[in-house]
């Protein structure tokens, strides 16, 4: 009886917990992005209509992103964006933070960067015989490569469970082992601590849920 109770509890936990965590993250992200502009929009809607419209802030935020993207893709809009960006960078604190955040955002979301430089590699690190997953982020700067007279790659060695933090190492091009693996699959392996297996059949994953011993 105790064995069956344990089986029922673990099976239920494996089914319910991912659903609850997914819902929690969805609701939290919705509330976060809605609140960016929603707090100001709600002030006016409550003042004039006596109502607060959940989700209106998120809708306006999405429209703002599309409008900014549309304007930034034409010549005049691009010139205006560069002008205001230069003004923005005149603030001392902003000058230290904004460029780094901009590079990280481009690394995460730019289709061109994803297509051209974001590759998954296997690196013999931290010593010979031990391999680590890494993301090629770029060719190493010439200032670095010239010092060792080798072509080097900038490789991000991600940490667990947050693959976007970690540290950068510089690896000779010939020592990087390129993997036939998408970035998304590599992230799944890293986030799961190696539990996720690309070769595992989906039916076998279901067996883990419904066949607890």
| Block mean pLDDT (10 aa), the chain, length 213 | 77 86 88 84 82 84 86 81 84 81 69 64 91 89 91 89 80 92 84 76 53 57
pLDDT at res. 109: 67
What is d(CA 159, CA 134) in angstroms, rounded to the nearest whole number? 10
In 10 A of CB 171, how many CB atoms? 21
pLDDT at res. 117: 55
CA dist list (Å): 60 to 69, 163, 196? 14, 30, 37
Tokens representing residue 69 in the block: 């993207």
pLDDT at res. 207: 57
- pTM, two decimal places: 0.52
pLDDT at res. 204: 53
Beta strands in the chain (DSSP E): 119-124, 131-139, 152-158, 166-172, 177-178
In 10 A of CB 105, how many CB atoms? 10
SS3 content of the chain, % helix, strand, coil (to 5): 60, 15, 25
Note whether 142 and 190 are within 8 A (CB): no
């Amino acid at each position: 009886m105790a064995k069956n109770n344990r089986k029922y509890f673990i099976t239920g936990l494996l089914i319910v917990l991912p659903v609850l965590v997914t819902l929690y993250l969805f609701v939290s992200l919705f509330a976060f992005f809605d609140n960016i502009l929603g707090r100001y929009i709600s002030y006016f809607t409550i003042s004039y209509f006596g109502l607060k419209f959940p989700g209106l802030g998120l809708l306006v935020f999405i429209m703002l992103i599309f409008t900014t993207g549309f304007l930034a893709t034409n010549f005049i809009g691009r010139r205006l964006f560069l002008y205001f960006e230069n003004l923005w960078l005149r603030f001392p604190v902003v000058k230290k933070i904004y460029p780094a955040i901009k590079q990280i955002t481009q690394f995460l979301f730019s289709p061109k960067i994803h297509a051209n430089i974001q590759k998954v590699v296997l690196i013999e690190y931290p010593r010979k015989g031990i391999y680590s997953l890494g993301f090629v982020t770029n060719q190493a700067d010439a200032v670095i490569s010239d010092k060792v007279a080798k072509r080097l790659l900038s490789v991000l060695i991600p940490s667990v469970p947050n693959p976007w933090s970690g540290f950068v190492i510089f690896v000779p091009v010939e020592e990087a082992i390129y993997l036939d693996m998408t970035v998304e699959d590599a992230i799944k392996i890293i986030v799961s601590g190696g539990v996720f297996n690309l070769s595992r059949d989906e039916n076998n994953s279901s067996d883990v849920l419904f066949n607890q011993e």
